[in-house]
Amino acid sequence: MNRRTTLTFTTYATQKLPEEKVFKDPIHRYIHVRDQVIWDLIKTKEFQRLRRIKQLGTLYLSFHTAEHSRFGHSLGVYEIVRRLIDDSFDGREAWNNDDRPLALCAALLHDLGHGPFSHSFEKIFNTDHEQFTQKIITGPTEVNSVLRRVSEDFPQQVADVINKTHENKLVISMISSQIDADRMDYLQRDAYFTGVTYGQFDMERILRLMRPSKDEVLIKESGMHAVENFIMSRYQMYWQVYFHPVSRGGEVLLNNCLKRAKQLYNEGYTFKKYPADFIPFFEESMTIEQYVDLDEAVVVYYLKAWINEDDAILSDLSRRFINRDLFKYMPFDGSIITITELTDLFIQAGIDPNYYFVSESFSDLPYDYDRPGSDRQPIHLLRRNGKIREISSQSLVIHSITGINRQDYKLYYPKEFISDIEDDQVRNAINSILAVSYTHLTLPTTPYV
């Protein structure tokens, strides 16, 4: 029998769910998922693991509600890119909608390789979250098998976008640039969950005024003040939240805790609570599976157990982290005494500078454009006449901070260790130096060269 059928070919890349799924979200109200591939990626165990990795690591020790996860942030970045495509780009000449699955998958997966308390882990165990993001996407994982259903080379393409090596510069700039979906989500999300007011800006307006071009996302010139606001929000979030000295104190403690555990392991110390899950990290030989297995719940479990260790340093540092008994911090500018001289004084006082004296420096460059000494991709404004202008040549506010790098130094040490120093001379010397460097503090701003 001859039956006429109409076949509609839909590939997996563009296949829609029978019904849209929505996630309730405090930043975007709702996150909409209509694509099968996105839904399948969210369900993988590697993506679900991001629920157990906090977006701001140890910052909850100073901002008690900053317990939000990388899972929420990743969904948020996906949602911003989805809206950018579906509401602003679709139908415009410079946008090829065949790139939609690539942009959406890269947005969703851009932070996939973050480990527990990322910064501490990277510092102590030489891991690199960007490298693990690549490995999880291209290696033998559930995420990889979902992406391979699109096409054999699709995992590599998604990895290349995240790694900024893909030939499609427009898609890269949607996810990583000086005004990208990543920053637009984390500034608002981190502001919301820390309770500060700095991270707010008019994202609706910025999204509406974004335009695709061959190599980058442009912003119509009428959006300039909204971008100024975004840049200032970012600047203030860095100094008020991300570099908050008390917040950094939590990270200092965790770093030293992990450093001590690794040192003890290398020395053949007999742990009461054997750190089985950490061995691949101590030996820097972890597989993708071992990496994905370790989340923050596991780390905190060990830290709690290590309070009962015989090693006084590991026990003390673990207790301090778990019970939030942070080191004291002091501003430091190096003008009175060098770190080496101060370290010598700590050694004379019998304080182990490897674990109880830390100098930290932070720096941030709020905005720059590509010129000698800088490789930043500029923010470009699209004028009514179709011409393109770099934003600092148009905006007074952005011009005034362009290329300026702000730096800050802090010293961390346990306050009671100083008052317990028996040698009066050493104690007084340390106290006076810490006091002097405080009054002489300036916040250096150095021109970027």
Residues of the shown chain interacting with Ni ion in the complex, contacts defined by CB under 5 A: 111, 182
Helix (H) or strand (E) holding 389: strand 388-390
> Exposed/middle/buried for 332, CB within 10 Å: 0-12, 13-18, 19+?
buried
User: How does DSSP classify residue 18?
Assistant: E
Cβ atoms of 20 and 86 within 8 Å: the answer is no
Nearest CB to Ni ion, comparing residues 35 and 111: 111
Nearest CB to Ni ion, comparing residues 135 and 183: 183
CA distance 117 to 281: 14
Nearest CB to Ni ion, comparing residues 177 and 395: 177
Cβ atoms of 161 and 133 within 8 Å: the answer is no
**Unique residue bearing structure tokens 């609570």:** 273
Cβ atoms of 298 and 381 within 8 Å: the answer is no
Nearest CB to Ni ion, comparing residues 185 and 368: 185
Cβ atoms of 114 and 162 within 8 Å: the answer is no
Helices (H) and strands (E) in the chain, counts: 22, 10
Least separation, in Å, of the C-beta of 8 and Ni ion?
36
Least separation, in Å, of the C-beta of 418 and Ni ion?
39
Nearest CB to Ni ion, comparing residues 28 and 262: 28
Q: Parallel, antiparallel, or unpaired: how do β-strands 328-331 and 217-220 relate?
A: unpaired
Least separation, in Å, of the C-beta of 110 and Ni ion?
6
CA distance 141 to 67: 27
- For residue 178, give the nearest of 390, 388, 377, 375 by alpha carbon: 377
Least separation, in Å, of the C-beta of 111 and Ni ion?
4
Nearest CB to Ni ion, comparing residues 35 and 182: 182
Cα 393 → chain centroid? 29
- For residue 265, give the nearest of 231, 302, 301 by alpha carbon: 302
Least separation, in Å, of the C-beta of 279 and Ni ion?
29
Least separation, in Å, of the C-beta of 360 and Ni ion?
23
Cβ atoms of 282 and 276 within 8 Å: the answer is no
Nearest CB to Ni ion, comparing residues 53 and 303: 53
Nearest CB to Ni ion, comparing residues 106 and 303: 106
Least separation, in Å, of the C-beta of 176 and Ni ion?
9
Residue type, 326: L
Nearest CB to Ni ion, comparing residues 238 and 282: 238
Least separation, in Å, of the C-beta of 73 and Ni ion?
6
CA distance 45 to 50: 9
Least separation, in Å, of the C-beta of 267 and Ni ion?
37
CA distance 360 to 373: 25
